[in-house]
């Protein structure tokens, strides 16, 4: 019985769930796994699911898909657009959308498992499939590892995964070495002295302190990082005050920092700390600011030999020119925790979901940033075909490359 992958994708797209709340999604995954006759474990790392297909001697290949949606209000206008809502960790009611394509990841992995089950006489070894929660928090992989996924399932010889991206549908992007950046999410609390808005001289205004800090932080990348290196300093949230005539006592900034490696990380973090402290001192703050690293992700590094093998296999399966080097992405991923923890190679590639003609027109017109919505955009809307088929095929080709032939 074949899984109707288009119907599956549309259903998942209509019903996105926030990180660590992917219970409906996990339920659909386990239902499909049961239909394929596969044993599975659910609730791994809270809402994760894992399964294995033991098929004789040979390598153990892990395939990973993430399952969570995002607090984004969908504006694609698609007939199957999400109108879902959820409650975020702060207790707020928010719109939810599969704005990062994780619905496509789940669909492709289930399709690949179906194919691998159907072709068991052609390969030997073990396939482990991991349906991971909470990638968007950078927390799901570690939650599954903490819950023993590496002990409860055969240990990998290689970890493979893929992400949907705004490349033309049919195209695969993979890069040897650092594929995605390391990142840190940090919270800065600036302490001032609150008071009446009419008497600023009697206060230490954390709003002005925050504004100066945000502007000065922008000089890290523009003035202090070698222009040939990659780094990102984004202040994604700034909160202070409740009312126009009250000068508040503190301001909070939330930063997202990206870099290719540990050396760059240490340098950028040192610069952030120096500027935050100096701006507080410049404002006459009586209390030092606090800087807390909320979460960290390592860089996603593709194994050089395995990536070369995989690129050759993709070219052979899909034709020369299908695989492009997309460069290092400044986005980050937690997939590499599985490979790091197991001490084995990782290959993580991207596959396209944009109508190829639309993509070509945008390139020709120089309007790619305007016309091609990226992941996390409310307009992110992959074309169904051949995105679904290519997502299945890439996983199957990749798994078969590292499994043994029977």
Closest approach, Cβ 348 to Zn ion, in A, equals 11
Q: Does 109 bind Zn ion (CB under 5 A)?
A: no
**Interface stretch with Zn ion, choices 54-62, 97-105, 190-198, 356-364 (CB under 5 A):** 97-105
Tokens of 1: 């019985």
CB 76 within 8 A of CB 10: no
52 vs 387 by CB, closer to Zn ion: 387
The residues, ordered by sequence, that sit 6+ positions from 382 with a Cβ below 8 Å of its Cβ are 101, 104, 164, 169, 353, 354
Mapped onto helix, strand or coil, the DSSP state of residue 270 is helix
CB 127 within 8 A of CB 399: yes
Please tell me the distance from the alpha carbon of residue 261 to that of residue 298, in angstroms, as a whole number.
8
Instruction: Annotate each residue in 137-166 with x if it binds Zn ion (CB under 5 A) or - if it does not, as one string.
Output: ------------------------------
126 vs 165 by CB, closer to Zn ion: 165
C-alpha 190: how far from its chain's center?
A: 29
Closest approach, Cβ 198 to Zn ion, in A, equals 45
Closest approach, Cβ 333 to Zn ion, in A, equals 7
Q: Does 100 bind Zn ion (CB under 5 A)?
A: yes
Please tell me the distance from the alpha carbon of residue 253 to that of residue 189, in angstroms, as a whole number.
7
Closest approach, Cβ 48 to Zn ion, in A, equals 15
Where does residue 90 fall: left (phi above 0), alpha (psi -120 to 50 degrees), or beta otherwise? alpha
138 vs 192 by CB, closer to Zn ion: 138
**Interface stretch with Zn ion, choices 93-101, 250-258, 288-296, 322-330 (CB under 5 A):** 93-101
Q: What are phi and psi of 84, to 5 degrees?
A: -70, 155
60 vs 100 by CB, closer to Zn ion: 100
100 vs 129 by CB, closer to Zn ion: 100
Closest approach, Cβ 100 to Zn ion, in A, equals 3
187 vs 377 by CB, closer to Zn ion: 377
**Interface stretch with Zn ion, choices 92-100, 150-158, 226-234, 316-324 (CB under 5 A):** 92-100
Closest approach, Cβ 89 to Zn ion, in A, equals 17
Closest approach, Cβ 29 to Zn ion, in A, equals 17
Q: Which residues pair with 346 in a beta bridge?
A: 159
Q: Would you call 217 exposed, middle or buried from its count of C-beta atoms within 10 A (0-12, 13-18, 19+)?
A: buried
Q: Does 181 bind Zn ion (CB under 5 A)?
A: no
**Interface stretch with Zn ion, choices 46-54, 95-103, 341-349, 396-404 (CB under 5 A):** 95-103
Please tell me the distance from the alpha carbon of residue 102 to that of residue 191, in angstroms, as a whole number.
39
Nearest-10 Cα torsion for 18, 241, 251, 136: 10
100 vs 301 by CB, closer to Zn ion: 100
**Interface stretch with Zn ion, choices 98-106, 196-204, 275-283, 318-326 (CB under 5 A):** 98-106
Tell me the site size for Zn ion, rule CB under 5 A: 1
Please tell me the distance from the alpha carbon of residue 317 to that of residue 114, in angstroms, as a whole number.
19
Summarize as ranges the residues that interact with Zn ion (CB under 5 A).
Answer: 100
């Amino acid at each position: 019985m074949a899984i109707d992958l288009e119907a599956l994708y549309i259903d998942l797209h209509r019903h996105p769930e926030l990180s660590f709340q992917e219970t409906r999604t996990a339920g659909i995954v386990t239902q499909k796994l049961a239909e394929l006759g596969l044993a599975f474990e659910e609730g791994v790392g809270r809402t994760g699911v894992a399964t294995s297909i033991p098929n004789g001697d040979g390598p153990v290949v892990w395939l990973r898909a993430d399952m969570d949606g995002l607090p984004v209000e969908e504006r694609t206008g698609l007939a199957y657009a999400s109108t879902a809502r959820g409650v975020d960790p702060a207790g707020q009611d928010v719109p939810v959308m599969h704005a990062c394509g994780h619905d496509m990841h789940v669909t492709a992995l289930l399709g690949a498992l179906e194919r691998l089950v159907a072709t068991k006489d052609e390969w030997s070894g073990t396939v482990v499939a991991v349906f991971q929660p909470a990638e968007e928090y950078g927390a799901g992989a570690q939650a599954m590892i903490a819950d023993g996924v590496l002990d409860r399932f055969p240990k990998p010889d290689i970890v493979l995964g893929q992400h949907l991206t705004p490349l033309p549908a049919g195209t695969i992007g993979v890069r040897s070495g650092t594929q995605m950046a390391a990142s840190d999410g940090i919270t800065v609390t600036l302490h001032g002295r609150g008071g009446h808005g009419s008497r600023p001289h009697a206060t230490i205004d954390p709003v002005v302190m925050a504004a100066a800090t945000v502007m000065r932080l922008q000089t890290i990348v523009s003035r202090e990082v070698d222009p040939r290196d990659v780094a990102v300093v984004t202040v994604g949230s700034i909160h202070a005050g409740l009312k126009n005539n009250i000068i508040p006592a503190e301001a909070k900034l939330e930063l997202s920092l990206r870099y290719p490696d540990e050396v760059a990380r240490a340098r950028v973090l040192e610069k952030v700390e120096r500027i935050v402290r100096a701006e507080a001192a410049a404002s006459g703050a009586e209390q030092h600011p606090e800087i807390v690293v909320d979460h960290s992700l390592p860089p996603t590094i593709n194994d050089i030999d395995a990536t070369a093998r995989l690129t050759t296999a993709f070219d052979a399966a899909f034709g020369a020119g299908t695989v492009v080097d997309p460069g290092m992405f400044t986005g980050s991923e937690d997939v590499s925790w599985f490979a790091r923890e197991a001490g084995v190679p990782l290959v993580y590639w991207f596959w396209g979901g944009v109508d190829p003609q639309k993509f070509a027109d945008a390139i020709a017109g120089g309007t790619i940033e305007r016309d091609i919505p990226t992941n996390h955009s409310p307009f992110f809307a992959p074309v169904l075909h051949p995105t679904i088929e290519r997502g299945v095929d890439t996983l199957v080709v990749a798994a078969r490359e590292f499994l043994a032939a029977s």
